[in-house]
């Protein structure tokens, strides 16, 4: 089968590796489509993700595909099901390491329910059991939305993880696919005010179309003039979807007493110094650097409901579609901000 690999110099290529051989608890999935993860896939290509210590590595983790066969202990999947989250965590060719391996012609999905039932999963508290998010997607959900749901589930789940599901007034820094998802979901969850900060006019316009009540350019003085605590428009939570120390300290000037500064993803510098005098006496920091699988999985049903109701549209997010053989070109489009989200067809 084919897969997409990246070498230590960041060169992306199509390679041939053996087909996966499933265990009794695994389903084999033929990949239909996948999204590039703007953050993780870029970090892997640029050599910044600690979970990928050596190269060449097999890329991809936002996948959607159809089950073609199942192991004899599998009960959660059957041939013909569309499943999201399939991976190739153990490359079938030892010449490659794991960059999650989802951009492969065939991937695997573990059956968490069956493994738990049979007592073969040694799960400890706090373990990152990724197969909890390998789930069947209802047939009425378009495949493009199914692939996009890999991002959407993690973002919606983070509202629970960061304790901001009931926040009424939020400001989001960063207008990439994650920041735009925060805007849309906050409004769908009933927030009365959502603002977005981004340096690109096109992304500010998209945020407005997705429900943002106000938008700001980077370093826009109006943000602090109108929404700092002294202005009297209390902000419950600031969400940093970029990963910059300056954003965290800007957030301290905006949040209300007892409010939250939330970081989604990895900090670019790996560290941050807080100018605590800028903030209220009481505030909290919420770091969401890795998904909590239970809340990520639980996000799937409300997302499906919003998709069916026409309140959540994959076309607002996926701005470029490419054959999988053109993964390098697709990633270039993402990194240059020419497209918000790129979809790969297999």
Residue 306's pLDDT band (cuts 50, 70, 90)? very high
Q: What is the pLDDT of residues 109-138, one digit of tens each?
A: 999 999 999 999 999 988 999 999 999 999
The confidence score (pLDDT) of residue 232 equals 86
- Omega prior to 56 cis, within 30 of 0: yes
CA-closest candidate to residue 193, choices 138, 146, 252, 234: 234
Comparing 202-216, 255-269, 312-326, which segment has the lowest mean pLDDT?
A: 255-269
- Rounded mean pLDDT, 187-207: 98
Per-residue pLDDT band for 9 (boundaries 50, 70, 90) equals very high
Q: What percent of the chain has pLDDT over 70?
A: 100
Residue pair 60/101 in contact by the 8 Å Cβ criterion? yes
- Mean pLDDT confidence for 19-23: 97
Same fold yes or no, 2-137+313-345 and 155-288: no
Rg (alpha carbons) of the chain, rounded to whole number: 20
Contact 186/170 with Cβ under 8 angstroms?
yes
Sequence-separated (6 or more) residues with CB below 8 Å from residue 171: 194, 195, 196, 197, 223, 227, 235, 237, 238, 239, 251, 254
* Residue 266: per-residue pLDDT: 85
Spatial separation of the C-alpha atoms in residues 251 and 188, rounded to whole Å: 23
CATH homologous superfamily for the domain 2-137+313-345:
Medium-chain alcohol dehydrogenases, catalytic domain (3.90.180.10)
Do 216 and 197 contact (CB within 8 A), yes or no?
Answer: yes
Closest CA to 305 of 162, 185, 180: 185
Q: Are 112 and 129 in contact (CB under 8 A)?
A: yes
Strands (E), the chain: 2-6, 12-16, 26-35, 57-58, 62-70, 82-84, 97-98, 106-110, 135-137, 169-173, 193-197, 214-216, 235-240, 255-264, 284-288, 318-323, 341-345
Q: Show the tokens assigned to 135.
A: 């789930």
Average pLDDT for 61-65: 98
Q: Angle CA(185)–CA(191)–CA(192) in degrees, nearest 5?
A: 140
**Domain boundaries of the chain, sorted by first residue:** 2-137+313-345, 155-288
Summarize the confidence of residues 196-218 as an average pLDDT. 97
38 contacts 177 by C-beta, under 8 angstroms? yes
The one-character DSSP state at 20 is: P
Q: How far is CA 214 from CA 135, 198, 218, 305, in A?
A: 36, 11, 13, 27
Whether residue 192 has pLDDT greater than 90: yes
pLDDT of residue 74: 98
Mean pLDDT of the 83-109 span = 98
Q: Write down the pLDDT at residue 126.
A: 85
Cα–Cα nearest to 31, from 85, 98, 75, 74: 85
CATH number for the segment(s) 155-288: 3.40.50.720
pLDDT, tens digit (0-9, with 9 covering 90-100), for 256-297: 999 999 999 988 778 889 999 999 999 999 999 999 999 999
Average pLDDT value over all residues in the chain: 96
Q: Where are the alpha helices (DSSP H) in the chain?
A: 40-45, 112-118, 143-161, 177-188, 201-209, 221-227, 245-252, 293-298, 300-308, 327-335
Query: Is 0.85 topped by the overall pTM?
Result: yes
Angle at 166 between CA 163 and CA 167, to 5 degrees: 85
Confidence of residue 175 (pLDDT cuts 50, 70, 90): very high
Looking at the predicted structure, is the pLDDT value of residue 163 above 90? Answer: yes
């Amino acid at each position: 089968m084919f897969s997409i690999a990246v070498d230590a110099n960041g060169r992306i290529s199509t390679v041939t590796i053996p087909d996966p051989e499933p265990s009794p608890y695994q389903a084999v999935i033929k990949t239909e489509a996948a999204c590039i993860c703007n953050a993780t896939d870029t970090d892997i290509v640029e050599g910044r993700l600690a979970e990928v210590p050596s190269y060449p590595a097999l890329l991809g983790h936002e996948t959607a595909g159809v089950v073609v066969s199942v192991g004899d202990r599998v009960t959660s999947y059957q041939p013909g099901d569309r499943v999201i989250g399939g991976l190739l965590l153990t490359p079938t060719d030892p010449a490659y390491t794991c960059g999650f391996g989802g951009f492969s012609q065939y991937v695997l999905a573990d059956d968490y329910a069956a493994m738990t039932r049979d007592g073969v999963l040694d799960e400890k508290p706090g373990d990152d059991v990724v197969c909890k998010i390998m789930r069947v997607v209802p047939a009425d959900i378009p495949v493009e939305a199914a692939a996009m749901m890999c991002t959407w589930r993690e973002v919606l789940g983070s509202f629970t993880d960061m304790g901001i599901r009931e926040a009424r007034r939020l400001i989001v820094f960063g207008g990439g696919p994650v920041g735009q998802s925060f805007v849309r979901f906050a409004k769908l969850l009933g927030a009365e005010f959502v603002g977005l900060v981004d340096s690109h006019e096109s992304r500010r316009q998209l945020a407005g179309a997705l429900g943002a009540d106000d938008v700001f350019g980077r370093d826009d003085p109006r943000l602090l003039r109108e929404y700092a605590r002294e202005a009297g428009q209390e902000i419950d939570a600031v969400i940093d979807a970029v990963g910059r120390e300056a954003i965290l300290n800007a957030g301290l000037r905006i949040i209300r007493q007892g409010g939250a500064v939330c970081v989604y993803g990895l900090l670019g510098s790996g560290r941050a110094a807080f100018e605590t005098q800028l903030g209220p006496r009481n505030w909290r920091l919420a770091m969401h650097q890795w998904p909590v699988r239970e809340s990520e999985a639980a996000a799937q049903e409300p997302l499906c409901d919003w998709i069916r109701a026409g309140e959540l549209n994959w076309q607002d997010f996926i701005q470029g579609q490419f054959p999988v053989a053109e993964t390098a070109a697709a990633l270039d489009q993402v990194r240059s901000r020419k497209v918000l989200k790129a979809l790969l067809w297999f």
